[in-house]
Structure 1
Amino acid sequence: MTDDAENYLGYIKDGDEAKRDAYVSKFDASEQESIKQGLEQQRRDYERFPADYKDAPDKKLTPEQLNLLGKIKELEEKSELWEKTKEKATKMLWWEDVVEGLAKQSQQTEQSDTETEKSQTLPPSTEQTETSSTPATLSQNGEVWFMHPVALMNYFKFKAGIVTYHIYQDGKIEKHIPEKIFPGFERKYQYVYHDKDNNEHEICICEWHTINKKVFVDSPRETFNYPDHGTVEETKTNVSDGYIAARAKYKNGDIHEWIKIEDGVSIHERLTMINGNIAEYGRHDKQGDVWKLYKKLKEEAQMVRMPDSLNYESSGVIIKYELKETFRKYINPDLLAGFIGALAEIKENIIVTGSAYEQGSCFPSSLHINGLSIDTKYIKKVKNLTDYKKDKEFVNALAKFHFRTFRIGEAIYNLFKDISGVIFGYELHNSHLHTENFDFNTIKIIE
C-alpha cells in the first residue's frame, strides 16, 4: 500500500492530522490549502455516517457519503492486495536466498569431494584444512533439505497477483491472468485504465461469482403468486437483507421474496425456484403489472458486482458513474471493462440505471439477462443541456470499446440514426440509452 493511500485513510477514518499533513505535503504548494480543505470536508462527511449505515448504505447515506464510501472501500481493497504482495515478496526473497545458498553449498560440496579425492593421493601436508560454512539462510533441520534448488527456482518464477483487465485509451482491452492468484483474491477482478501516455490508473476491484445462465420465457403459464404457488412452510416474514424486505418459503424449497420500495425501481416480488428458475413481478411501462420468467440453463457465466459509484479523477483521466434507481447492480465482467473505457472517453458522470440482478435475471427487461446490457440516463436530460451532442459522443465512445447495439427512444431516434449500431427503441427508451451486444472476441487473454 502506498504512503498516500495510508495517509488518506488514516485521516478520513481516524482523524489523524499528522497523516493529513503528510498526504497534503506531496502536492504543489499552490494546491495544498484547497486539498486540505477537501480532506477536512470528507472527514466531516465520514463522521456523519449513521452508526447502522452498513445495513443499507444506499438508503442511509447521502450521494456524497456513498461516493466517499466507495473510495474508502477501493483503497482498503488495494491496501489488502498490497499487504499480501509485500508478504509474498518477502517470502519469495527469503527463499531465493535459500536457493542461492543451496546452490553455493552444492558447489562447495562438489569441490570438497574433489579435494578429498585429491587428498587421498597427496601427502598429509597438502590436505585442505579450511571448511566451508553453511549459508546463514539454511536451516540444518528444515524441510528445505528435501527441496531441489531447481524446483525452488521454478516456483519463484510464478507471478502471483490478481486477474486484471487492462483497458487502453485506443480501445484495446486485455485480460491478464497471473500464474498464481493471491489468497483472498481468487474471486476478484481488477480494472486498470491506460491513458494516452500509457500511465496506469487503478480504477476498481470487483468481486465476481458464477451463475447458471438464464433465458427469458415469454408469457409463462405457471402460478407464481404468493401463497398460491404451493404449500407454504415458512410464512412471510420481514427481513433486513440488502434490497429484500420480506421472505417466505414453500415446502418444496422455493423462496418468495418481496423487494424494498424505492423510487425508480419497478420490481416488487421474486420467486426463486429450487430448479434454478426465477420469476419476477412488478410494473412494466407497457405491460402493466406482470410476472416475467427467467429459466435456468446448464451453461455458466460470470457476473461482477458493480461499485455503487466510481469517482476517479487523476492526471486528466476522469471515470465517473453512479448507480441510481436500480437494484440491478451486476454485469458481465467483460462489459464492465468496455464500459470503463467509454467512461474515460466521455469524461462525464454517467447515471447508470442498471444491468442485471445477481443471478442473471433482470426485471422488467428481457434484454439485460445475464448482465449483457446496461442502461444509462441521457446526459442531456441529467445535465439539462440544450442538445444531445454529449449523448452522441457517448454512443461513439461505447462503440469504440466494442459495444455494437444502442437502443434509442422514438422521440429522439432521428437525431442518432446515422450512428452505426443505433436501432429504434420505441417509447420504452425515451428515458434512457440501452447499450448491448458487446463483442467479446475483442478482449485479448494474456496468461
Structure 2
Amino acid sequence: KNTFLFVRAKIKETTAITVTFKSFFAGQFSAVDNLNHYDFLTQEKERFEIKAILGIITYHIYWNTETEGKIEKHIPKRISNENIDKYKYIYHDKEGNEHKICTVEWHKTKEKQNGIIYSNKPTHSKITKDNNVIEGDTRRRVKYENGDIAEYGRHPTKGNIWRLYKSTGKEIELIRMPDQLDYRKNNIKIQYTFSQTQRRYTGPNVLAGFIGALADCNLKLVTTGSCFRDASCFPSSEHVNGKSIDTLYLDNVDEQKFIDSMHKFGFNKQITGAHKKKFNNAIPEKIGSLHDTHLHSEFKDSTIQIKNED
C-alpha cells in the first residue's frame, strides 16, 4: 500500500544543505518554492534530500497603510553563486498575501551627473567609442576615456542637441526592468508596458517603488522609460542613474490615483505639465510644454529600509 509523507521545511540558511533519512528513504525529490519555505512530497520507504536552498537579495514591498507604503531590502547572510547578480521582488498586499512579482539581473556602472546641453559633440576627453544608434530619440552615443557619455538626438522642445553626462567615478547598480509586467492575482494587478524607448534600466530601489505604486493603484501604466544601461538618459537630463521614471498620462481621476500611489511608495518629486490639471502631490511645470505629455517621477532612496538577515 502506498502512503505519502508530507514534509515542510522552513530554512533560513542560504547555502546548499542536505538532509538525509538513512533508514527509510531512498531517492531525490524536487522542492517547490513557496516563498518562505520548501515543500516535499514523497512515498513511504523512500529517502529524500533537501538541496540548494538558494539565498537571494529580496525587496519586500508592503501595502502597510492607506497612505504609507513600506519597502524592505532583505540581504541574506549568504548569497548563492547563481543569484549573486540578481534581485527578487515580492509584494505583500493589504490582507498579508505574498505575491512574487519578478527576479531581475543587476550590473555595475559609473554614476552620472545630470546631463548638460552642448551644441556640438564634446571633445574634452579622449573618445573610446562613437556609435550611431537608434534608441528612441537617441541617434548617436559617444563614450570617453574618463567615463563620461555624450548622446545626440531629438529633444521634444529643443530640437537636435547633444547632452553630456559626466561620470562621478563612483560605481552604482542598475537593473534591467522586465519588458512588461502583467501580474494579476487575488484582485492585485501590477501592469506596465514600454512605449518607444530603450531606456529600460533603472535603479533597483526605483523598481521596488514602482511595483508598490502599481499594486496600490491597480492601474495599467505605459512608461517611456528611466535610463540606458550605462546610466545616461537622452533626451532627459534628470533620469541619470535611473533615479526617475516617466509615464504617459491617464485620465485625470486615474492620474491622481496613480500620483498618490507613487507618492506613497517613495516618489517624492513628481512633475506635471504646465498646461495640465493641477494634481495633489505633484509640482506643475511653470513654463514650456515638456511635461504636457508625461508625468516625471523621481524616487527617494531613503525610502528603503535595509534588513540584514542572520
TM-score, normalised relative to structure 2: 0.78
Q: Which residue of 1 aligns with 2:289?
A: 427
| Secondary structure at 2:235 match in 1 | coil
Instruction: Tell me how far 1:180 sits from its aligned partner.
Output: 1.0
Instruction: Tell me how far 1:257 sits from its aligned partner.
Output: 1.3
- Unpaired segments ≥5 residues, structure 2: 1-11, 23-52
Q: Which residue of 2 aligns with 1:279?
A: 150
Amino acid at match of 1:390: D
Separation (CA, whole Å) in 2 of partners of 1:196 and 1:219: 45
Q: Which residue of 2 aligns with 1:446?
A: 307
Assess if the C-alpha contact under 8 Å between 1:160 and 1:178 holds in 2. Answer: no
The reply on whether 1:197 has 2:95 as its aligned counterpart is yes
Shift in CA distance, 88/402, structure 1 to aligned 2, threshold 3 Å: closer
| Secondary structure at 2:268 match in 1 | strand
Structure number with the higher helix fraction is 1
| Secondary structure at 1:379 match in 2 | coil
Q: How does 1:326-337 map to 2 (within 5 A)?
A: 326-337=197-208
| Secondary structure at 1:312 match in 2 | strand
| Secondary structure at 2:184 match in 1 | strand
Separation (CA, whole Å) in 1 of partners of 2:119 and 2:259: 38
| Secondary structure at 1:211 match in 2 | strand
Q: Which residue of 1 aligns with 2:278?
A: 415
| Secondary structure at 2:170 match in 1 | strand
Shift in CA distance, 295/169, structure 1 to aligned 2, threshold 3 Å: same
Cα deviation, 1:230-276, whole Å, max 9, x if unaligned, reads: 9xxxxxxxxxxxxxxxxxxxxx6611111126xxx211111112221
Separation (CA, whole Å) in 2 of partners of 1:178 and 1:351: 34
Separation (CA, whole Å) in 2 of partners of 1:446 and 1:92: 27
Amino acid at match of 1:296: S
Separation (CA, whole Å) in 1 of partners of 2:115 and 2:185: 45
Assess if the C-alpha contact under 8 Å between 1:160 and 1:179 holds in 2. Answer: no
Q: How does 1:56-135 map to 2 (within 5 A)?
A: 91-94=17-20
Q: Which residue of 2 aligns with 1:394?
A: 258
| Secondary structure at 2:82 match in 1 | coil
TM-score, normalised relative to structure 1: 0.55
Q: How does 1:138-287 map to 2 (within 5 A)?
A: 160-170=54-64, 171-220=69-118, 223-224=121-122, 254-260=128-134, 265-287=136-158
Rg: which structure is higher? 1
| Secondary structure at 1:181 match in 2 | coil
Assess if the C-alpha contact under 8 Å between 2:119 and 2:162 holds in 1. Answer: no
More contact order relative to length (CA 8 Å, sep ≥ 6): 2
Assess if the C-alpha contact under 8 Å between 1:328 and 1:355 holds in 2. Answer: yes
| Secondary structure at 1:392 match in 2 | helix
Instruction: Tell me how far 1:421 sits from its aligned partner.
Output: 3.9
Assess if the C-alpha contact under 8 Å between 1:403 and 1:435 holds in 2. Answer: yes
Q: 2:269 aligns with which of 378, 388, 405?
A: 405
Instruction: Tell me how far 1:218 sits from its aligned partner.
Output: 2.5
| Secondary structure at 2:95 match in 1 | coil
Assess if the C-alpha contact under 8 Å between 2:223 and 2:247 holds in 1. Answer: yes
Q: How does 1:317-328 map to 2 (within 5 A)?
A: 317-328=188-199
Assess if the C-alpha contact under 8 Å between 1:166 and 1:191 holds in 2. Answer: yes
Separation (CA, whole Å) in 2 of partners of 1:329 and 1:192: 20
Instruction: Tell me how far 1:424 sits from its aligned partner.
Output: 1.9
Shift in CA distance, 260/424, structure 1 to aligned 2, threshold 3 Å: closer
Q: Which residue of 2 aligns with 1:243?
A: none
- Unpaired segments ≥5 residues, structure 1: 1-84, 98-158, 231-251, 381-387
Where has structure 1 moved over 6 Å in runs of 4 or more?
none
Structure number with the higher strand fraction is 2
| Secondary structure at 1:359 match in 2 | coil
Instruction: Tell me how far 1:443 sits from its aligned partner.
Output: 1.3
Amino acid at match of 1:434: H
Instruction: Tell me how far 1:160 sits from its aligned partner.
Output: 4.5
Shift in CA distance, 404/161, structure 1 to aligned 2, threshold 3 Å: same
Separation (CA, whole Å) in 2 of partners of 1:420 and 1:200: 28
Quote the RMSD (CA, aligned, Å).
2.6
Separation (CA, whole Å) in 1 of partners of 2:153 and 2:131: 12
Separation (CA, whole Å) in 2 of partners of 1:221 and 1:427: 21
